[in-house]
Structure 1
Amino acid sequence: MEHLDVLIVGAGLSGIGAAYRLQTQSPNRSYAVLEARDSMGGTWDLFRYPGIRSDSDMFTLGFPFHPWKAAKAIADGPAIMEYLRETASTYGIDRRIRYGQRVLKASWSSEDAQWTVETTKATYTCSFLYVCSGYYDYDSGYVVDFPGQSEFQGRIVHPQQWPDDLDYSGQRVVVIGSGATAVTLVPAMAGTAEHVTMLQRSPSYVASRPAHDAFSDRLRAVLPEKLAHRLIRGKNVALSTALYSAFRKWPAHAAWLLNSAAAKQLPESIPADPHFTPRYKPWDQRLCLVPDADLFEALRNGSASVVTDEIETFTPTGLRLQSGRELQADLVIAATGLRMVVLGKIQLTVDGQSVAPHDTFVYKGMMLSGVPNLAWCIGYTNNSWTLRSDLTSQYVCRLLNHLTETGTSICVPEIDPAEYDAPPRPVVDLSSGYIRRAAAILPRQGSNGPWRLRQNYPRDLLSLRFKPVDDGTMQFSGRATGSVRAAEDRRTSRSGG
């Protein structure tokens, strides 16, 4: 049974970033990356539907240690995959990835101060387990069983299982949904299909943004690469943080601004109300980004349209809506959402006791109360995922180094629920459907202190990079003896100490 100091689960954006931080900021530790799929990339390798792209700028979604060099600030899926492969190869991370190893179980032993991790191919032990698999279920998306689906003579496809052989040229396409996937698919398919209709039960807030960042292009043309990247990244972080804060503080003004901007880009035949006037406040759900206003361009030129209604039933030739209207379709794309999972669906036990993540509180947005030597990497919902995930990985390295410096082997955050006078909330605190559906399984967050997950990068930067690791909430114990001491001896031997 192979022992490693750290096991990273997942070889996507978070896992690659975690590996880099581990080998540069805690370099004497052995590690491996366990990836369930046969290739790296995570979400960016999973989703193959037309138009797949980032909804954050690549200067912040990309890694701070490996600057984004391509022209587009809003990049498509293939470009992001190329960037991830290049990053992993540049720093030798690709040689640490073990593919086809889905983690099934992880069992903690306080006596041995280590995890026993079972995958589909092997069993490992490790001193620290770092789960970087995100929170989407890669096995399947959220599927709605609409009435009459079996009668439909066309094809129904979920974007998460996009067929390689799907030819929609000249077809009448209906995309069900109004979220980020739908607003990406509609303009991407509109140039090839006969017509694309976005059918939504209720609209989302949609904002346009240039795919190219002119200011960033000018900086990169005159400044050294690393300096330009830092300035661009800082500018984008400051702007997104300020906009989010303003939108949450003045939601009525924010709604008016977003609705007015959409109305100016719509043709007269498509009124902003009801088609682009959501029922919720801005940032109660994630904002949908459309680069270069491509969705609005498809609506203006007539290759796409939008219908706000509810489905009564599928028919042999399309869909009948509750208003009585019928939509003819050859192909229906059910962009009905995603499913969330916790810790990649790994079955956790601590000293023989099963752990239900919903019964735990999240410490500093990454560790679970009462669970030793384990971190879960999740990103922001109001900003680029990587901003948060990179802070988490750097904090994990600080935590590991603190264990070495103090000669301890176990770290576990402990919470007293009596401290909190507000009801706990899911760790991802949005009103989106996929989050509401997962509320019963998600870990919870408290009302204050390290148990609250704030969507605020500047505050997290100060907390995770500069505040002491030993804050009185994290409990440290155990001495580097037994298997832990043996691992330390092996590490010393490798480094020649």
Structure 2
Amino acid sequence: MSDESVDVLIVGAGLSGIGAAWHLQKLCPDRSYAIVEARNALGGTWDLFRYPGVRSDSDMHTLGYSFRPWTDPKAIAEGPTILNYLRETASDSGIDRKIRFGHKVVRADWSSQDAQWTVQMLRESDGTTVSMRCGFLFMCSGYYDYAGGYQPEFPGLDRFGGQLIHPQKWPEDLDYAGKKVVVIGSGATAVTLVPALAEKAAHVTMLQRSPTWMVARPSVDPINTKLRERLPLQTALKLTRWKNVLMGMYVFRLCRKSPQRMRQLLLGGVRQALGPKADIATHFTPRYNPWEQRLCLVPDGDFFQALNKGSATVVTDQIESFTESGLKLQSGATLDADIIVSATGLKLAMLGKAAIFVDGQRVEPARTVNYKGLMYTGVPNLANTFGYTNASWTLKADLTAQYVCRLLNHMRKSGARQCLVPEVGPDTPLQPWVDFSSGYFQRAADQLPRQGTTKPWKLNQNYLSDMFAMRFGKVADGVLKFS
């Protein structure tokens, strides 16, 4: 492969990579491309996570692609259904034939003299390092480490006689029927796991240090159902997508502008679901305001139903240590468990943990500054897909791919071989890349690029603003340098 060259190399065959390839085929049909994928299957997140009940935490009308509307009536969909959607998208458009599986990118070197990247990959089949050259490197590898999730140091773990499992590495043959299960965590994974495990387990306890904001929502969108009855399918799906985009933006804005009002609304929903006897103050009232972290969707209220049935409970406490039979908590209470699931979060992996070099100099992502949410100062001919934290990932992934195609076409038309985001001035005020208090962002803050306070350095969390800027704004905006 060392002599092989393509115009564009896409890294990652998940939601972002498949979408990027589709846009390239449509908008840049004269460009050659290939996709390299570290794993042996496409689908990314939706092929990796196999824990019980795994599902989307965004509605599929916006998590699905703009070019391939989600047609299944169920808007909060299970993982296998989403994976099948991705497989069909790749197969129907021939994208699957462009994927090199088992190729993990470990290093990429940019040569200004040659105006190209040389990308080194570890080939899983024989353990050898192979390379490929490309004019543009399109990183679509997501934002977390596929090798493993975040696992805190648990005191006394070696004494525990049961099984400790992280959802990112769920054993296919795990038998939890009739077992006592403790799920550590309160995020989307825990809220998904608890009702799914409670169907077979003797009892499931969700142990949380502090509560998370939750909102129940029907898995089947009733407005979409009515639209489909009255309108042509494609029209109904487009209207549903825009309805959900605008509603999501409205709710996020309301959370930021009127946090106390939203606290009351969300707590009222939980109180209605659990009844007057539930200890809402202790177990369901977070210390942070809504949308300072992602809201946890509870489709059809299944989590609350498990609590009402008594097959699951919530405990708000902290772990003092593991014991032979479970957990000892700081309050002095104990929890017996046959299986403990540490739904303790993700580890971020910037640019797939690949080492990036520009003319022999190592690029440290934390020393770069974001440009339009997809490029970085001092790194030529590279784009990275990073979706929204306050909306569906694919909304931003679609815009990113469309912008990259516009950029490539501008370069072809103008004869430029290199596009570069210049360094910002020393007086430019900078902020953390993501304004989010979630643990996985806080733990990786020293690895992430910075952002500015004004365009184009600010990382927008607004789909409409990004849509106008990335679809219709000038590519040659006076900031990007072409040569």
TM-score for both structures, normalised by structure 1:
0.94
Q: Distance in 2 between matches of 1:417 and 1:114?
A: 27
Shift of 1:55: 0.9
Shift of 1:419: 4.4
Q: Distance in 2 between matches of 1:311 and 1:332?
A: 12
Q: Distance in 2 between matches of 1:475 and 1:250?
A: 41
1:444 aligns with 2:450: yes
Q: Distance in 2 between matches of 1:363 and 1:111?
A: 24
1:331 aligns with 2:329: no
Superimposed CA distance per residue, residues 397-428 of structure 1 (whole angstroms, 9 cap, x where no aligned partner): 0000000110111001113233423x421x23
Shift of 1:265: 1.2
The one-letter amino acid paired with 1:14 is S
Q: Equivalent residues in 2 for 1:82-481 (5 A)?
A: 82-121=84-123, 122-421=130-429, 423-425=430-432, 427-477=433-483
Superimposed CA distance per residue, residues 193-247 of structure 1 (whole angstroms, 9 cap, x where no aligned partner): 0000000000100011100011112222332232222111111111111111111
Shift of 1:257: 1.2
Q: Distance in 2 between matches of 1:117 and 1:375?
A: 15
| Unmatched segments (≥5 aa) in structure 1 | 478-497
Paired residue for 1:493? Answer: none
Superimposed CA distance per residue, residues 23-76 of structure 1 (whole angstroms, 9 cap, x where no aligned partner): 001110000010000000001111100110001111110011111111201000
Q: Distance in 1 between matches of 2:421 and 2:225?
A: 44
Shift of 1:274: 1.1
Paired residue for 1:58? Answer: 60
Equivalent of 1:32 in 30, 34, 37: 34
Q: Distance in 2 between matches of 1:69 and 1:17?
A: 17
Structure 1 counterpart SS, 2:426:
helix
Equivalent of 2:77 in 75, 78, 100: 75
Q: Distance in 2 between matches of 1:245 and 1:285?
A: 14
Shift of 1:268: 4.5
The one-letter amino acid paired with 1:143 is Q
The one-letter amino acid paired with 1:380 is Y
Q: Distance in 2 between matches of 1:417 and 1:163?
A: 50
| Unmatched segments (≥5 aa) in structure 2 | 124-129
Report if the CA contact (8 A) 2:177-2:200 is conserved.
yes
Structure 1 counterpart SS, 2:446:
coil
Shift of 1:131: 0.3
1:419 and 1:394, CA in 2 relative to 1: closer, same or farther beyond 3 A? farther
Report if the CA contact (8 A) 2:179-2:338 is conserved.
yes
The one-letter amino acid paired with 1:452 is K
Report if the CA contact (8 A) 1:311-1:319 is conserved.
yes
Superimposed CA distance per residue, residues 157-196 of structure 1 (whole angstroms, 9 cap, x where no aligned partner): 0000100110000000000000010000001111100000
Shift of 1:248: 0.7
Give the alignment's Cα RMSD to 1 decimal.
0.9
Q: Distance in 1 between matches of 2:297 and 2:275?
A: 19
Paired residue for 1:23? Answer: 25
Report if the CA contact (8 A) 2:369-2:424 is conserved.
no
The one-letter amino acid paired with 2:247 is L
TM-score for both structures, normalised by structure 2:
0.97
